[in-house]
Structure 1
Amino acid sequence: MKTLLALAAACFLGIGFVAQQHVAYREPLDEMLRFKLLAHLIRQPVWLLGIAAMICGQVLGAVALDESDLGRVEPLLATNLIFALVIAHAVYKEPLSREVWWGGLLVTGGAVIFLAFGQPHGGRTTAPDSPRWLAAGAVVVVAAGFVLVALPRSLRTKAMLFAAAAGMLFGVQDALTRSSLLELGQGLPVALRSWQPYALIIVALLSLLLAQSAFDAAPIGISLPAMTAVEPIIGIVLGMLVFAENLRFTGAAITAEVIGLLMIVTGIGVLGRSSFLGKPGSVVRQDGGSG
Structure 2
Amino acid sequence: MGSSAGTWLVLAVPAAVAGAAAMGLASAAQARATKEVEVTRILDPGLLRGLARRPLWLIGMVATGAGLALQLVALAFAPLLVVQPLLITSLMFASVFSARLERHPADTVMVAGSLICAAGLAAFLVIARPSGNAGAIRPGTHPLPLAIALATLTVVALVVSTLTRSASVRVLGLAVATGVLYGVTAGLMKVVAGQARDDLAEPFRNWTLYLVCLVGPLGFLLSQNTFQQGRFLAPALAVITALDPLVGVAIGVWWMGEKANDAPLALAGEAVAGAVVIVGIVLLSTRASRLARAQSTEDDEDLFGASEGAV
Query: Which TM-score band (shorter chain)?
Result: 0.7 to 0.9
- Work out whether residues 196 and 202 of structure 2, in 8 Å CA contact, stay in contact via their aligned partners in 1: yes
- Work out whether residues 156 and 272 of structure 1, in 8 Å CA contact, stay in contact via their aligned partners in 2: no
Counterpart residue number, 1:225? 238
Q: Please state how far the C-alpha of 1:21 moved relative to its aligned partner.
A: 0.8
**Alpha-carbon distance in structure 2 between the residues aligned to 1:251 and 1:127:** 26
**Alpha-carbon distance in structure 1 between the residues aligned to 2:93 and 2:203:** 37
**Alpha-carbon distance in structure 2 between the residues aligned to 1:73 and 1:251:** 24
Counterpart residue number, 2:137? 126
Q: Please state how far the C-alpha of 1:45 moved relative to its aligned partner.
A: 2.4
- CA deviation string 1:24-47 (max 9, x = no partner): 122333343312112222332221
Q: Please state how far the C-alpha of 1:12 moved relative to its aligned partner.
A: 1.8
Judge which range, 16-25 or 148-157, deviates more: 148-157
The yes-or-no answer on 1:83 pairing with 2:89 is no
- Work out whether residues 84 and 244 of structure 2, in 8 Å CA contact, stay in contact via their aligned partners in 1: no
- Work out whether residues 156 and 222 of structure 1, in 8 Å CA contact, stay in contact via their aligned partners in 2: no
Distance 1:34 1:115, change over 3 A: farther
The yes-or-no answer on 1:242 pairing with 2:255 is yes
Q: 1:167 aligns with which of 174, 179, 183?
A: 179
- Work out whether residues 133 and 242 of structure 1, in 8 Å CA contact, stay in contact via their aligned partners in 2: no
Counterpart residue number, 1:288? none
Q: Which amino acid aligns with 2:268?
A: T
The yes-or-no answer on 1:102 pairing with 2:118 is no
**Alpha-carbon distance in structure 1 between the residues aligned to 2:293 and 2:262:** 43
**Alpha-carbon distance in structure 1 between the residues aligned to 2:169 and 2:106:** 18
Q: Please state how far the C-alpha of 1:49 moved relative to its aligned partner.
A: 1.4
Q: Please state how far the C-alpha of 1:224 moved relative to its aligned partner.
A: 0.9
The residue correspondences of 1:176-255 to structure 2 (distance < 5 A) are: 176-183=188-195, 191-192=203-204, 194-218=206-230, 219-255=232-268
- CA deviation string 1:219-256 (max 9, x = no partner): 21222111111111210111111112112112342122
- Work out whether residues 146 and 165 of structure 1, in 8 Å CA contact, stay in contact via their aligned partners in 2: yes
Larger radius of gyration, structure 1 or 2? 2
What are structure 1's unaligned runs of at least 5 residues? 285-291
- CA deviation string 1:169-215 (max 9, x = no partner): 11101122222344556768865554322221111111001111110
Give the RMSD, CA atoms, in angstroms: 3.3
Judge which range, 138-147 or 208-217, deviates more: 138-147
What are structure 2's unaligned runs of at least 5 residues? 1-10, 301-311
Q: Which amino acid aligns with 1:20?
A: Q
Q: 1:264 aligns with which of 277, 282, 293?
A: 277
Distance 1:149 1:68, change over 3 A: closer
Q: 2:155 aligns with which of 122, 144, 156?
A: 144
**Alpha-carbon distance in structure 2 between the residues aligned to 1:123 and 1:76:** 16
Figure out how many residues of one structure are paired with residues of the other and give that number: 282
Judge which range, 3-12 or 139-148, deviates more: 3-12
Q: Which amino acid aligns with 2:292?
A: F
- CA deviation string 1:78-98 (max 9, x = no partner): 211111101211232367545
Q: Please state how far the C-alpha of 1:19 moved relative to its aligned partner.
A: 0.8
Q: Which amino acid aligns with 2:43?
A: L
Higher helix share: 2
Percent identity, please: 26
Counterpart residue number, 1:41? 51
Distance 1:279 1:157, change over 3 A: farther
**Alpha-carbon distance in structure 2 between the residues aligned to 1:44 and 1:90:** 18
Counterpart residue number, 2:40? 30
Partner SS state of residue 140, structure 1: helix
Partner SS state of residue 242, structure 1: helix
Partner SS state of residue 33, structure 1: coil
